[in-house]
Amino acid sequence: MKQFAIAIHGGAGTILRSTMSPENEMNYKKGLEEAILAGDAILSSGGTALDAVEAAVKKLEDNPLFNAGRGAVFTNEGKNEMDSSIMNGQNLMAGAVTGINNIKNPISLARAVMEKSEHVFLSGSGAIEFAKKMKLEFAPDEYFFVQERYDQLLQAKESDHMVLDHSILRSTNTALGDAENKTPTSKKGTVGAVALDIHGNIAAATSTGGMTNKKFGRVGDSPVIGAGTYANNNTCAVSCTGHGEFFIRAVAAYDISCLMEYKGLSLNKACDEVVHQKLVKLGGEGGLIAIDAEGNIEMPFNSEGMYRASRKSGGEVYIGIYND
């Protein structure tokens, strides 16, 4: 039987065992397991890596625990603004959207951009107009509304701080810092998936709800091909999560591919160089998941934790949260 494999992440950041309730931990693990199994089911029945990463990311988008799709955080204006991207390693086709709202599954919109438009990257109201034409599923504001996310916004607004993805507030306001530490569920960020199918093709997908209290239409790395997402059968498929600005400046996802293609590094060594050397040197906190055409999987992070799971060729499901 030919190999297949999948890995997913539900965000990296300050995720500590000491601040996580057993109930929360169980819920996260359950959410990760559902997503990995959704992707795995497609791969094990001969489906494509592209279908598998989309299915896995949709599960994570549908789960309000994760900051993507339902559960997306609120901007300063009290809106959801979501980003996503997808790339097919077989032909280097890619699709991405930024600044969208009311789309139930942003990853499916990215895929529609890739497959049904002449473009790679659409933004804002124009992207939503395209989604309507493509008859994608919309959902009302209430669907996306999660009380806890809204409370996060009110909290963040009070201190006028943006909450970057899933990290602690970079604030000297210790009162708020403490409040954040008491609600570890408020720190989840970007979700993503990478997969290898039995046909030897790999793909990557990333989706995010951005950051709480964000202003100015900030775009992170998630919809940026090369930064947050990249896939190429010759090297690897990568989905990133973390402090997006640094991942953009490092062109992180494509850098791993280049280190493999041009410098001959293994997936493991390339991931190590980008996550533990280059990003650390720049000051960029986060992690990523990566897969190569041999089915090797890496899930490195330089933050305190990263929600993650993987499964190879129907073997044991691995689920991890902390840095141990």
Task: List, by residue number, the catalytic residues.
Answer: 190
Beta bridge partners, 96, equal: 85, 121
Residue 299 corresponds to which tokens in the numbers above? 């899930």
Nearer to a copy of itself by Cβ, of 185 and 302: the residue is 302
> How many beta carbons lie within 10 A of that of residue 115, not counting itself?
13
Q: Is 157 in the site for a copy of itself (CB under 8 A)?
A: no
Q: Is 94 in the site for a copy of itself (CB under 8 A)?
A: yes
Q: Is 102 in the site for a copy of itself (CB under 8 A)?
A: no
Q: Which residue has the tokens 């000297």?
A: 172
Query: Rounded CA gap, 78 and 145, in Å?
Result: 10
Output the CA–CA distances (angstroms, integers) from residue 144 to 141, 150, 255, in the order listed: 5, 10, 34
Nearer to a copy of itself by Cβ, of 8 and 162: the residue is 162
Tell me, what amino acid is at 2? K
CB 210 within 8 A of CB 75: yes
Per rule CB under 8 A, count of chain residues that contact a copy of itself = 44
Query: Rounded CA gap, 310 and 194, in Å?
Result: 9
Residue 32 corresponds to which tokens in the numbers above? 């990760």
Q: Is 73 in the site for a copy of itself (CB under 8 A)?
A: no
Task: Print the binding letters for residues 199-218 with a copy of itself: x by CB under 8 A, - otherwise.
Answer: ----------------xxxx
Q: Is 82 in the site for a copy of itself (CB under 8 A)?
A: no
Q: Is 136 in the site for a copy of itself (CB under 8 A)?
A: no
C-alpha angle 102/106/110, rounded to 5°?
A: 135
On the CB side of 109, CA atoms within 13 Å amount to 36
Q: Is 277 in the site for a copy of itself (CB under 8 A)?
A: no
Q: Using CB under 8 A, which of 24, 123, 313, 323 touches a copy of itself?
A: 123
* CB of 220 vs a copy of itself, minimal distance in Å: 8
Nearer to a copy of itself by Cβ, of 8 and 211: the residue is 211
Interface residues for a copy of itself in 256-275 (CB under 8 A)?
A: 258-259, 261-263
In the complex, the residues that contact a copy of itself under the rule CB under 8 A are 92-94, 98-99, 117-127, 129-130, 162, 215-220, 224-227, 230, 244-245, 248-251, 254-255, 258-259, 261-263, 282
